[in-house]
Every structure is written in C-alpha cells, then in structure tokens.
Structure 1
C-alpha cells in the first residue's frame, strides 16, 4: 500500500518515520487498514489508539523505525501476534505501534532441521507450514497466540516434558538493537543476549526472527472432557498425581480447569489431555479419563485441531493473574473454591451472564527444568532451577464485555490469587516464587521472581545492548528492568 499524497506529516513521530524512508509502511487512524489492525487485537483492553502504526516488511524496516523513533525521542510499542491482554503491553496511546504482523513467514531448513520463524507469525500458521515437511516445534498451545511474545516470555508447551520450555528450543535470535544494528544472538555469539532473551521480554531490542530446532510431527492423541462442577476435588487429584509422575510418560500432558463457561452450560470442570506420540489413553492419563463426563472428544487427531480446545473468545476485556504453587492438592482445592465464590459475585453483578471465568491448573514439574537444561546448555533467565519441588502453575481469569466491568471485576480476580497465596504460605514450600510472564497481570512482579543472579544478567545485558535505555524509556509495554527497585 502506498501512502496518499496528502499524507499528514505534522506529528513529529510520523514525520521522523517518513524521513527515514517508511512512508509506505505507515497506517494512519483514518486508514481502514489501521482500524482493521486495531480490531484484530484479541483483547479489547489492548485496542488502544496509537498516532500511527508502522508495518515493517523486513528487519531493515524495523531498524529504520527504531532509529527514527529513538532519535526523535518518541514513545513506541511492539506488537507480535496481539494476544497479550493488558493495556499497553503491545500497543500504545498516541505513540507509534511497530506492528510485526507482516514478518510472519516460516521457513524450514532441511540441512539442519531448523525452522526460521518470523516474530509476527501465529502458531497455527507456523505449524501448518512445518507440517508440509513432516516437522513441528515446541510452540504455543493456542492457535491465535503470536510467536514473539510467547517465546520471549518462556513458552509453556505440549512438549515441555521432553524438551523443556519453548524458549530453550530457540537456537538463534535475529534482533534489532536500539541503535538500529541487526545482530544474531546464539550460544556462541552475543551469548549474554542469547540467554537474556530466554524469558527477558522486550527489554533489549526487537526480535524479528527466531530459529528453532524442530521435531518430527505426526498424529497425536488427545482432546478435552467436560465434567460436572462438583467433581473438582477428584479432578484436582488427577492433575496433582500427573505432575508427580510426569517423568514416567514425557509424551503426555494435561491441565485441569474449573470454570464458568456459558458455551458449555455454565459452571463446569474441563480436562485437556494429550499424548504427542499418539498413544491412545496412555496409563498416566487413566485417572483423568475415568472422571465422570458430560462429554468428551478424545481421539487420534492433529495438533491443529487440539489448538482450538483451549481458545477463549475474542473481543472481551480479559483479566489475567497468575501464581505458582507447590504441587499440593489442598492449595488447588482452595483455589477452586475461591473461584466458585468469585463466579457467584460475577453472576450477581452481570445480569446478562455474558462473561467467562476460570482457574486453570497446569503441571510445572522439576522435569521441565531438567529438560530445558538438557536442550539448552546455555541456560535462560527464568530462574526455575530455584524451585526445589514439583509445582503447579495457576492461571486465574475473568473475561467481561466492557471497560467498566473490567475495572469492577479486576480486584476480584486479584483477591482470588492473593487469598490462594496466603493459604499456600501456611504450607511449607507452598508458594513458589516464580511468576510466568505470559500469564501475568501488569502489576505482578515477574522479573523479580527470576532471582538476584538473573536480575543481574538482565541488567548487564540491557546496559550493554541498549546503553541509552531506549527500550526502557520509550517502550513502556512489558515488564521492565528499569522498574526493578533493587
């Protein structure tokens, strides 16, 4: 698309981009394509109104944009897939949003069985392209999630029991730094940056391409089952036992959800279970499969179909908080009970019942850490090795229709997580300090949870690769090193 002759240049942030050769890459608020890109954000909270959107078509375009905005001291945001839900995480009011959506190619290299994946891609498209070559990667578990944000936040995935977190399956990053230089960070080149990007978010530059190791693809077995709400104590026991024994079957994965889902009839429990080697009804999942069901769709299927099972509907205001706790059934039962209480409050305050809510319990065994280290000897900055026991990752969520309801419901979700934390703190080792970036609310202390040594690594990498603090001062979205007090 070519910008019209009467293209507005009065705003300094627009003018600086034009002067750096990006006129044809800019979308202004009056442009229908601008409205389409804003509407394409998954969460309404993220649908802010930047002064303009710039859509680079190459790493060189990204470099030009960063240099122009840094020189003009203009605020910016970076968008990958547009799935992060909190306001300001991947968009900005009155600044410039660098929208990586056109950097969405996936290229398979048969010589070394790697995939070169554009930061603006979505996992459903990545998997579809790699499937043509009989390969896949340890990527996102939901179709619409973007590549960049998911990988920079760590990346829980279907293959974590075999290969660890997704960030540890990245073997190289193409990164645009604050001075516009384009570097490759890998195990033997810019090693400190390579490590910092594995969980460090957008503190150091803009990643334009990820090179990942691939694994053979093929059919998988799995699906989901709906259960009556009152079976949640038994369901919780299945996920606790699974987490304890995950090492006996690293091809299987599961999560257990207690939720209010109108599309499923209201209050419900959900088991999502898979075996990535296509073993039907594997022994480790037998207890979960024996739970009373309303319905289930377990079968031998494809990864693409399984991606849809954990999808939440778009165009809501989504409130997410997260907490990591010891693999202890009593803590999970408490969380489920608190969720059910919260649901009653939401039902009373939202007469049309147009909302969803849930607490999801996801295994986080020590096995994941061991497999991450085996896959990536260089390490990451997540600090999960601090955890001495198997854990459960909790995601607490409410999705509502209006900004007013979001402001009303947010304290309720926060209170749920705070009360679970207080309960768990009375159990030895009950609260695990790690906070998962990709599920965290903007108010949560993510980087702090990585531990002092990793905070030091993050600070040193930021000072080295962004000495002027461009991504600290001008890019407010994300969890910032500059916000750390110690």
Structure 2
C-alpha cells in the first residue's frame, strides 16, 4: 500500500496519520480504495467514505479507534462486507475501519479451538479447518463474513446440535473505545461483556478475534430440491411437522424459500436440505420430499459444495425484513399469499425482469434455546417464548436505488400483514427479531426483552462510558436508540 504526501490526505485522515497509520490509509484516488468499495456485496453499502483505514492487527485497530475517538471523528466498521443496508458497515464522508487484513483462521489441536479473524469469509474458514478434520458452527453461505454473522447470533447448519453460532464462541478479543485490548469469556473479568456480544452487534467495541469450539467434520448429505410453486401452501404443513419433530433429528436442517428468480425460470419453491451426519434421505424430510419436484441435486457431498445453494447474487440494491412467529401452517400460508402479492407488484414495476424476490422460512424450534442456555446464554431472550418458532427473511433485490426506495415500503407492508395475521393466532408472534436479516427501521434490540436491553445498556456504559460506539459509529442497531 503506497502512501501519499501528508498534504494530499483528507482532514478526516489527519488523526490517523498523526497516530502513525498513514501507510494503512486509502483515499478515493487510490485504486485499492475503489477495489474495497466495489467488493461490498450489496450496492446499497457502496458508500463513499472520506478515507478507509486498513489495520492489520488488534493493536493497529486499537490505535485507529483511539485516534478517531479522541478526534471526535465519525466512523464505520467493516468485517466481511456482506451487510444489506446503507450505513451498516460503511459511511459517507467519515472513516471506514476495514478489517479485511484480519481474516486468518487457525486451529489449536491441543485445545480443539479455532481462532478466527472478523473479516474471514466462511468459505475460507471452513477450508482451513477442514485441513484438520474440524468444523465450526458458522454461516450457511460462502461469502458471508465472520464478524457480522457471529455478532448477530448466527443460524447454522449445526444449530440442532450446538445452537447458534454465537453459542459456540468461547472468547472474544475486543478493542474497546479507549484503545484497550481485552479478552472476554464466560468466567473472567469481562463475563458481562461476553454475554452481550452474543447477538448485541457493534455496541461495545470491535472484535478482532473469535475463539470458537470445533467438532469433527465429515461428509454431509444435502443440496436443494426445486418445486413448482403450487406445492405452497400445502407444503406449509410439511414444514410445520419438520419443525415440530426436529429435536428427533438434530442433524437435519431445512430452509424453505419461495422465490422469483428469472435466471431459474421464474417462481419456485426451493428447499435446501442438509443432514450434517451424512445420513441419506433422512425421514425428517420425507413429507416434503413427497411433494412434486422439478429437480433436485440432493446427494452425499461436502459443506463447501452446499454453501452456494443459499447465496443471493451480488451487486443489487437489497431490501430485507424479518419476523419470527409461531410454528403454525396458517401463518406460513398467509406469508406465502402476501409474498405472491408482493412479487406481482415488483413484476409490474420492474421492466425486463432484473430483480429477485424471496421469502425464506427457517425453523427455530424451542430446543435451540437449550443449547444456548447450556453455553451460558445469549442475548436473544428466546427462552421467553414457549413455542417452536419460524424465522422468515423477506427480500427484494433490484438494480437501482430508485427501485430500492420503491420496494422498501412494499416489503414492509408484507411483513406487517404477516404480523397482523400472526397476532390473530394464539401466541402467534415470537418477539425476537434476527439482527442479521433485519431492516434498519425494525426494533431489533427491543425484541430481546427488557432484562437483556438492561444488560446491553449496562455493558455499553461500563466499557464505553463516553459513548464512542453510540455517537461516532452510527451503523448498526444502537442500544442508545432503544426507548423505555
């Protein structure tokens, strides 16, 4: 990385230069700056910071954070760059701390733990750990980054066995707002910080290393089956039955999406099925597999081969919303009906078919919380809900910001329609909102419950008393914005 004369740097970079980080700063005239901006997955995130700083170690992250805090300079933090909304991991006119150089994955055979950098892509993490015959509870998508996924909780192919991704973190190396580098774990001095980092986002500091439990890897059985859309809503009952019985087969996971993807021929219902123990055609999927199929590629395979099946295409403007509700076939059917209406609107609006829509249904059975509790608890508050639940992700992806602005209220209307219907069902709404799928106008942290909000407030006040990550780092869901 070549350096410019100090006089050619923007004012926002001066505090970083004074701190000795000049060789790590990228400005818009650098080719590397353009490359990093273009590497964001979502077009909405391709903002124009005044400069980017790329620290290569925790100590350099600490130097950058302290310099920016002392200067009162606004900043964003980027890990893998897969955030889906403007400002979540980038900033216009401020400084983006780009953790892209902190992406290693190392396995310790003595402890059977993995030490993983925040900017690693999960496909690379899995590839490295596979050399040792190990795996961790990470993302189900190849291009997603480690940091955002784990700080948001992380739903995985292994959740039936070990819970959410965050439940498998045993320690966080964290850079605090005052430049201290600490290690938070379940039993040490920073155990309160350890708890709130499990789903609390970027409210408390910058995590520069995740230490995770590993377990033996091996072949799995899985892939996807594409069905005609006509199987919906009849397939809703099969999904409900899968969720209700999932504790009997914790190795099997299911992601059922209704989607409109022109490159796949239009509207389809796609089931991504996996069994991480490698059991072929397990009984858990029988009811759904009996529905008519257009094609499937289900087979004994590897994790790396399955990862692309849940990937959404890059370089779109994306609108995502989420909701969690009771495991009830009537709510799924209503969600499908509202999704169909949404897709019809998008088809009428977007000329040439340059868009995708999808609504993904994912089981969140009650027994997942048992893994969370056994691991010391996370911050979601899911143990408050007495029923098996279903998590949905609804999205529209379009090519222009104008279309994205049009699409947002359309997706929000769909989600609110599902919510209203679910509220008519006894215990129909699960209060938890999954931060990694949420829109910025959704009340994510509030959904964790008052006790957990208080834990987050207390941790933020204790470890960031000057409110650096609340005032100067505007991206993400902020605990300071939660009203009583």
- Tell me the SS of whatever aligns to 2:234: helix
Distance 1:434 1:5 in 2: 50
Contact persistence 2:167–2:371 (CA under 8 A)? no
Mapping 1:63-142, distance limit 5 Å:
63-142=62-141
Aligned-pair CA distance for 1:210:
0.1
Match of 2:382 in 1: 384
Aligned-pair CA distance for 1:166:
0.6
CA RMSD of aligned residues (A): 0.8
Aligned-pair CA distance for 1:239:
1.3
Superposition misfits of 4+ residues, deviation over 4 angstroms: none
The 3 A distance-change label for structure 1 pair 10 and 229 is closer
Match of 1:269 in 2: 269
Aligned-pair CA distance for 1:2:
2.8
Normalised TM-score (structure 2): 0.99
Match of 1:177 in 2: 176
Match of 1:62 in 2: 61
Aligned-pair CA distance for 1:412:
0.6
Distance 2:142 2:47 in 1: 23
Matched, 1:229 2:229: yes
Aligned-pair CA distance for 1:180:
0.1
Normalised TM-score (structure 1): 0.98
Match of 1:246 in 2: 246
Distance 1:110 1:234 in 2: 48
Match of 1:473 in 2: 471
Distance 1:368 1:10 in 2: 49
Mapping 1:291-306, distance limit 5 Å:
291-306=291-306
Aligned-pair CA distance for 1:6:
5.8
Mapping 1:147-296, distance limit 5 Å:
147-189=146-188, 190-296=190-296
Query: Of 451, 454, 465, which residue of structure 1 is paired with 2:452?
Result: 454
The 3 A distance-change label for structure 1 pair 7 and 262 is farther
1:24-79 CA distance string (max 9 Å, x none): 11110011110010000000000000000000100001000000000000000000
Contact persistence 2:10–2:50 (CA under 8 A)? no
Distance 1:233 1:348 in 2: 24
Match of 1:36 in 2: 35
Contact persistence 1:82–1:90 (CA under 8 A)? yes
User: Structure 2: where are the runs of 5+ without partners?
Assistant: none
Moved more, 254-263 or 94-103: 254-263
Match of 1:368 in 2: 368
Contact persistence 2:9–2:27 (CA under 8 A)? no
Aligned-pair CA distance for 1:141:
0.5
Distance 2:327 2:6 in 1: 61
Query: Of 423, 443, 446, which residue of structure 2 is paired with 1:445?
Result: 443
Contact persistence 1:236–1:256 (CA under 8 A)? no
The 3 A distance-change label for structure 1 pair 265 and 67 is same
Match of 2:353 in 1: 353
Distance 2:290 2:128 in 1: 36
Distance 2:467 2:6 in 1: 35
Distance 2:448 2:321 in 1: 17
Query: Of 388, 394, 398, which residue of structure 1 is paired with 2:392?
Result: 394
User: Structure 1: where are the runs of 5+ without partners?
Assistant: none
Aligned-pair CA distance for 1:7:
5.7
- Tell me the SS of whatever aligns to 1:325: strand
Aligned-pair CA distance for 1:10:
4.5
Distance 2:116 2:10 in 1: 36
Moved more, 2-11 or 357-366: 2-11
Distance 2:318 2:239 in 1: 25
Distance 1:258 1:337 in 2: 11
Contact persistence 1:235–1:256 (CA under 8 A)? no
Contact persistence 2:44–2:85 (CA under 8 A)? yes
1:322-370 CA distance string (max 9 Å, x none): 0000000000001001111111111111121110001110000001111
